[in-house]
């Protein structure tokens, strides 16, 4: 059904709303229609397009001379706009399952009746506020929205001053490119406005460069090399879009952030532990771009102290077997044992390593517990089809780097003992000191959690701290463009059952 230039998208909830209302108009209360129009215009604050929610047609009909046909058309458009916008605020506009086959974080409405919920919004004293309340109530979402407002304001003042291409800029340099650098850093707030003029690369400018580099996920060395120059010259409009697409990702998951949760921010190389609010965070190492850490949801059910490590098939095929064929002492160096199908240890000298290249390798390679074990001293297990888990690591130097994409897909945790203490939540039996003693015994031991704890592996290229400092992270796995294109694409509902429905 079309009204003017617009199509009504809701084929189920909209008819049900009118049926339950006795087929009366829904938006007759004074101020209700204007409140819904304000909510539609306010979609912009969520990074959504108000035109997806019939803004031009609603504005036209509100301004038109009153008449029965216009009243009916306006009422239908307002209702369809509410269904559309409510759905996007609760679930997101983009369907992540279409973009990523690994995604399994789809949510349902559960026991919520969408018709009753939307009727309460229509009858609210402040319709615009009632619609806005459908968005995630998590502080992270509010910070993302504040960042969007700030960068739109920056964009309204014009483009960021460009820093011309050229050789590295470092302390002691001077000239027009340094002058441009000062103006650029002042425009985004990394350099105080009163220091924007001048052409000398002094100590305050070095500190400002380091601040910007930290916000861009780069090594904060205070020197403007090619990577820093490229980050500085990203247009402000592109940064606005980066915030918008990450608000969309936030809508996918933040409604589900309740109680205890482990959230791994893959692009940000951080693990965040929520116990209601954010309680603790630590650095992590994630998968290399050609061995991406998958994005999905599961539950941590147990952890293993002093684990053995069985080389996974991909690493075995692509890394370990070629290394053994090149150097037969590789197994001894890595303390790997050859295990047959019966669990018996096999003398590696009896193995025909040449035939292993054909893919018919009949053994497993296993590393015993110890300080050099690839999993370190502890691993955290959650069911998934990717053989991915959280674990300790002996390679501690990686945590000091700004970019920490160095694993084969699993997530290495900088402080795994603290994570274990928080997950076990049993300070009398499993304090940090007790865990350290258990680890020192070198005995493999499985510890079950009292209750499973949700874990979400998520991908955000945006960060905003409690002080409002905005960080733009490198798009490690080149995912942003696809999300943005879908966000800016045509409106559509996701075609999956919602609270027993097959359509909205």
Active site residues: 391, 410
- How many angstroms separate the Cα of 382 from the Cα of each of 20, 315, 352, 390, 423? 44, 20, 35, 9, 13
Our CA dihedral for 120, 123, 126, 132, rounded to 10 degrees, sits at 30
The Cβ of residue 313 has, within 10 Å, a number of other Cβ atoms equal to 12
Angle between helices 432-440 and 416-424 (to 10 degrees): 120
Residues in the chain: 504
Give the separation between CA 426 and CA 422, rounded to whole angstroms: 8
- Are 396 and 283 within 8 A, CB to CB? no
* 366: three-class secondary structure by DSSP: strand
Of 226, 269, 264, which is closest to residue 456 (Cα–Cα)?
264
Our CA dihedral for 321, 327, 331, 335, rounded to 10 degrees, sits at -130
Residue with tokens 């036209």: 60
Instruction: Write out the two tokens for 71.
Output: 């009243």
Instruction: Write out the two tokens for 253.
Output: 């998951």
Tell me whether strands 445-458 and 260-265 are parallel, antiparallel or unpaired: parallel
Give the separation between CA 81 and CA 210, rounded to whole angstroms: 45
Of 371, 357, 292, 286, which is closest to residue 320 (Cα–Cα)?
357
């Amino acid at each position: 059904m079309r009204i003017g230039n617009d199509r009504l998208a809701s084929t189920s909830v909209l008819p049900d709303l009118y049926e339950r209302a006795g087929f009366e108009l829904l938006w007759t209360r004074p101020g209700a229609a204007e409140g819904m129009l304000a909510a539609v215009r306010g979609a912009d604050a969520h990074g959504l397009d108000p035109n997806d929610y019939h803004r031009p047609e609603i504005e036209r009909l509100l301004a038109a001379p009153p008449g029965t046909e216009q009243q009916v058309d306006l009422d239908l458009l307002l209702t369809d706009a509410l269904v559309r916008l409510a759905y996007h605020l609760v679930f997101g506009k983009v369907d992540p399952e279409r973009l990523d086959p690994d995604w399994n974080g789809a949510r349902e409405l559960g026991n919520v009746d969408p018709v009753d919920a939307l009727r309460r919004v229509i009858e609210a004293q402040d319709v615009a506020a009632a619609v806005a309340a459908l968005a995630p109530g998590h502080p992270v979402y509010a910070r993302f929205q504040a960042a969007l407002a700030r960068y739109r304001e920056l964009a309204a003042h014009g483009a960021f001053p460009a820093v011309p291409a050229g050789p590295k800029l470092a302390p002691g340099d001077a000239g027009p490119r340094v002058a441009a650098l000062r103006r650029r850093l002042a425009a985004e707030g990394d350099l105080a406005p009163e220091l924007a003029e001048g052409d000398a690369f002094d100590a305050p400018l070095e500190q400002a460069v380091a601040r910007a580099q930290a916000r861009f996920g780069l090594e904060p060395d205070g020197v403007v090399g090619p990577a820093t120059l490229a980050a500085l010259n990203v247009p402000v409009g592109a940064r606005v879009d980066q915030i918008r697409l990450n608000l969309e990702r936030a809508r996918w998951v933040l409604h589900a952030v309740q109680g205890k949760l482990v959230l791994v921010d893959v692009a940000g190389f951080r693990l965040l532990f929520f116990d209601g609010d954010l309680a603790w965070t630590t650095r992590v190492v994630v998968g290399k771009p050609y061995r991406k850490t998958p994005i999905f949801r599961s539950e941590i059910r147990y952890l293993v102290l002093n684990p053995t490590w069985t080389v996974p098939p991909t690493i075995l095929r692509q890394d370990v077997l070629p290394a053994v064929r090149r150097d037969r002492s590789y197994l001894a160096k890595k303390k790997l044992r050859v295990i047959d199908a019966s669990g018996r240890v096999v003398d590696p000298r009896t193995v025909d390593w040449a035939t292993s290249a054909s893919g018919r390798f009949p053994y497993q390679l296993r590393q015993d517990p110890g300080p050099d074990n690839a999993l370190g001293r502890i691993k955290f297990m959650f069911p998934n089809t990717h053989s991915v888990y959280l674990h300790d690591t002996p390679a501690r130097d990686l945590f000091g780097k700004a970019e920490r994409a160095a694993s084969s897909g699993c997530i290495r945790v900088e402080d795994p003992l603290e994570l274990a203490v928080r997950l076990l939540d049993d300070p009398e039996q499993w304090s940090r000191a007790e865990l350290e003693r258990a680890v020192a015994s070198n005995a493999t031991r499985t510890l079950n959690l009292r209750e499973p704890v949700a874990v979400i592996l998520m991908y955000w290229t945006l960060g905003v701290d409690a002080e409002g400092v905005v960080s733009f992270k490198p798009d490690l796995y080149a995912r942003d463009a696809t999300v943005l294109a879908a966000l800016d694409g045509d409106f559509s509902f996701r075609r999956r059952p919602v609270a027993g429905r097959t359509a909205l």
